[in-house]
Structure 1
């Protein structure tokens, strides 16, 4: 019986790159992939730095690049829809076309709705990954994964957290790690329970931080390490192994909330930039477009135009 795996995916660039990498790595495994995309809305009351980062981290990909690439298949850029100018990764719509018998794609308003749990049951999903989904999983869906049975005797609902746990729970953890002069940061795979980022840890992958690059650049550069944690958990489940985990030491836990304007200023005063637009544009073009093709050139132009139109320095 094929293992059915769900991904609850946020709207940020790092998550989409990590999920794409995970999907690629699972191509040879006996696993059905069900991608549930969620969305986060911009906060007009957020400090300007945070609003600009949201545009670069979320909107540039979802509202600019994806529509441009998906629309290319209807006109002169039909070669993109046919796959001739794909980069290593694909838009959600292109993923849905890639292998409809094995990969499904769905936009999701709420991970906790009865309809979501019914859909998980209908598809026989027993292993779930939250990849920066931005929604707190409630008791019903946690209970579903705790009791689901199918391909394996073991089921689980896991979170891929961008930060080393338990020291970096919460949000903007890469920025906090850089502000704390950490040499490394990374991703932690852990069980989801009723508390934010507090479940038992399965694995953690760290890589060096480059303090000459921005926060978002470091996260993007590390996305494959997070995908590798997902791949290993899927393979272990396929082989019938129990996903071993350990509790987080409570005395080492620290939770970071959204940064205040004063905290953002302190981070900036340390020479840390939340993002740089041009490196993100180049990362997106490399990820989703073939090198040197007309699609890459067109994508680069629309992305740069969008950044300029938003009044954000490149």
Structure 2
């Protein structure tokens, strides 16, 4: 299959992309990175600090350093985006607007069978949704429809949930509203940070996507389930006060030791 992976240019996105390419082989991959942040995300201190560690520090300092020392052996568990491009010999490009005419043309020229969206910053419009033969599927780091919107792992911890979910669903013109393929749950570990949970969640959704591809390969009917609208809730970006309350409750957005352990998996 020709598969386009639309994914965010940050730590969680990089880990998820590594997992896709290691566990779902034998396909033709094209990667489109999104690299968009709102003014609100940059203005709230707690959010800006989070972005610094999950994106800015990596893209501007750590990844270039790893690539400078790169001997092209690629023995580490995780590779940077540029290392992925070299090792797997696949296109890795950055989009400023996935729905624009230029990007629509780019995607049509690939003629993908399927598009996989993971942490993608853009809401797909109908002109893009209609391109792939088998549709667009999104991996959402929360249970749908209870945790539509952004920062679902943060919200689950904020609400004191026992478990947090990762959902695979087909994309329609709404936001996190498409029919469900499946949801995998994992326990919330309140000794761990939000970043740790986000890094752990996406592989569960990727496993669901792998199972979906096997069903397509067997030419069996794809079972989808409509979302129960009675249980829907849409979360917007957390406010500064919500971030502060989260931390006052003894919860962590990022833990330094966890962060270093993750970076060590990229090698040195």
How does the TM-score come out when normalised to structure 2? 0.93
Q: What corresponds to 2:13 in structure 1?
A: 15
Q: What corresponds to 1:121 in structure 2?
A: 108
Distance 1:119 1:110, change over 3 A: same
Q: What corresponds to 2:139 in structure 1?
A: 160
The offset of 1:198, in angstroms, is 1.0
Distance 1:242 1:19, change over 3 A: farther
The offset of 1:209, in angstroms, is 0.9
Q: What corresponds to 2:49 in structure 1?
A: 52
| 1:50-99 deviations in Å (ceiling 9; x for gaps) | 110111122232222221112223xxxxx2x233xx31221121112223
Largest Rg, 1 or 2: 1
Matches within 5 A, 1:115-194: 115-145=102-132, 148=133, 155-194=134-173
8 Å Cα contact 2:139/2:202 also seen in 1? no
Structure 2 SS opposite 1:210: coil
Structure 2 SS opposite 1:241: coil
Structure 2 SS opposite 1:258: coil
The offset of 1:205, in angstroms, is 1.1
Superposition RMSD on alpha carbons, in Å? 1.8
| 1:103-130 deviations in Å (ceiling 9; x for gaps) | 3222222211222222222222120011
Structure 1 SS opposite 2:107: helix
Q: For 1:64 and 1:269, how far apart are their aligned partners in 2? A: 31
Does 1:89 find its partner at 2:78?
yes
Q: For 1:93 and 1:175, how far apart are their aligned partners in 2? A: 29
Q: For 2:28 and 2:220, how far apart are their aligned partners in 1? A: 18
Does 1:277 find its partner at 2:233?
no
The alignment covers a number of residue pairs equal to 267
8 Å Cα contact 2:112/2:131 also seen in 1? no
Structure 1 segments, 4+ long, off by >6 Å, are none
Does 1:222 find its partner at 2:201?
yes
Question: Is there any run of 5+ residues in structure 1 with no aligned partner, and where?
Answer: 74-78, 149-154, 290-294, 296-314
Q: For 1:192 and 1:58, how far apart are their aligned partners in 2? A: 26
